[in-house]
Every structure is written in structure tokens, then in C-alpha cells.
Structure 1
């Protein structure tokens, strides 16, 4: 029961994170592109602030639940005297997940801080530049997230 609960938390957390990136990149950003710079930058700042807070929670839950599940499998195998061998897709998922966390940290604590400073100073060109940097790194994280999902699903089906 606890493993199923952890897996559910893990999958829901990943869904919030990856799904939110898809929404922001392919639906929200094109829609707000029609707005004037002050409105666009302020709106994106507000939306991204809320989203990044949700991702922070989702990332912690995904990391914690993933580590707990891997540890639980490892402990169970060790207790039964079986050699522990984590599936390759789990290792790839864990390594790339940590990379995604690092990129998210850069987005949230460096680039978003730059965006906040631009909004506070009403420096709309600087805000646009910060948003462009955020967009680039979000696309990198989105690509990594899609790779993780694909590798995990393909590994689970073999």
C-alpha cells in the first residue's frame, strides 16, 4: 500500500511539473505574446511565480518519493538475500531527475529573481530578456522530462 501511495505521489508530482511546462511553453506564452510588454511581463511574472512555487513542492515530492521507492526495493531485496539490481531506467530517471532539479534551481533562484527585479524596476526589455532565458531553460527541462517519461515507459514495457 505504501509503495502504491508513493508511486501515485511521484506520478502526480511529475505530471504537475511536466504538464505545467507544456502549458506555459505552448499555450500561455503564445497567448500573451499579443500583450504589450508591461502587461505581458507582469502577467508572466505572476503566473511563473505561482507555477514555480508549485514545482518546488512537486520536485521535493518527486525526489522524496522516488528515493523512498528505490530504497524500499533495495531494502526488500537485501533483506531477502537477493542481489540488488536497480533497473537501468530507474537509474536514468534518477540521474536526469537530479539534473532537472538543478536546472529548476537555476530558473527559480537566478532567472526568476532577475525577472522580479525587472518587474520591480519596470525595466520591460530586461524583463523580456529574463523571460527569454527562462523559456530556454524550461524547454531544456521539458525535453529532459519527456526523455525520462519515454525511457521509463519503454523500460516498463520490456
Structure 2
């Protein structure tokens, strides 16, 4: 029962994270391109503040629930536990995703906020371009993790 609750929290958090990246990358950003730079940069800053805050919570839940599931499996197997290869791959690549997210959240979002506060739309556009690239990388990695998990 505990394992199932942890798995549910894990999967729902992954859905929020990957689903949000799909929405922002393929729907919001292209639509925002129709706006003038001041409106576009402000809009994306507001959206990213909210979304990345939610992803911060989701990432913590993904990490905690993943560790919890490993702990439950280890306890059930007693001394005979060997972490499956697909779990090891998922955990390792998930940590890479969290590192990329941390850079976006702690560095690039701050740069974007500074550009908005200074009305520096070219700097805001540069920050958004870096964020877009790294979100694309994380989206690709996240899809690969989901595919690897379902196919192995």
C-alpha cells in the first residue's frame, strides 16, 4: 500500500513536470511570439515563476517518492535487494534533470527577473532563449526516461 502511494505521487509529479514542459515549449512559447518583446518577456516571466515553483515541488516529490520506493523494495527484499538496472538508469538521469532544472530555476529565472525589472528586453530574450533550450533538453530526457521505464 505504501509503495503504491509513493508510486502515485511519483507519477503525478512527473506528469506535472513533463506536461508543463510540453505545454510551455509547444503551445505557450509559440503563441507568445506574437507579442511585442516587453509583453512577451513579462508574460513568460510570470508564467515561468509559477510553473518553475510548481516544478520545484514536483522535483522534491519525485526524489522523495523515488527514494521511498527504493526503501520499501529494499525492506521487502531484506538482504537480497539489488536495484534493477532500469531504476538505476531512471534515478541517474532524473538527477541530471534535477540539476538542469536547478540551473534554470536558480540562475536563469533570476536573470530573467532582473531583465524584466530593468526593462532590458534583449537580456530577457537571451534568458528566455537559454531557458527554452534547457527545457527542451529536459523534455527530451524526461520522455526518454518514461519510454525506458515502460519498455524495459
| Superposition TM-score tier, normalisation by shorter sequence | over 0.9
Mapping for residues 29-44 of structure 1, pairs under 5 Å: 29-44=29-44
CA distance in 1 between partners of 2:108 and 2:68 (Å):
31
Consecutive unaligned residues in structure 1, runs of 5 or more = none
- Structure 1 outlier segments of 4+, above 3 Å: none
Of the three residues 144, 147, 150, the one matched with 1:147 is 144
1:99 counterpart = 2:96: yes
Consecutive unaligned residues in structure 2, runs of 5 or more = none
Q: Return the TM-score normalized by structure 2.
A: 0.98
Mapping for residues 43-122 of structure 1, pairs under 5 Å: 43-78=43-78, 81=79, 83-122=80-119
Residues 81-126 of structure 1: per-residue CA shift (max 9 Å, x gap): 5x21222111111000110000000000001100000000000000
- Give the corresponding residue for 2:23: 23
Q: How many residues align?
A: 152
| Partner SS state of residue 35, structure 1 | coil
CA root-mean-square deviation: 0.7
CA distance in 2 between partners of 1:135 and 1:37 (Å):
16
CA distance in 2 between partners of 1:89 and 1:20 (Å):
24
CA distance in 2 between partners of 1:14 and 1:63 (Å):
10
Q: Return the TM-score normalized by structure 1.
A: 0.94
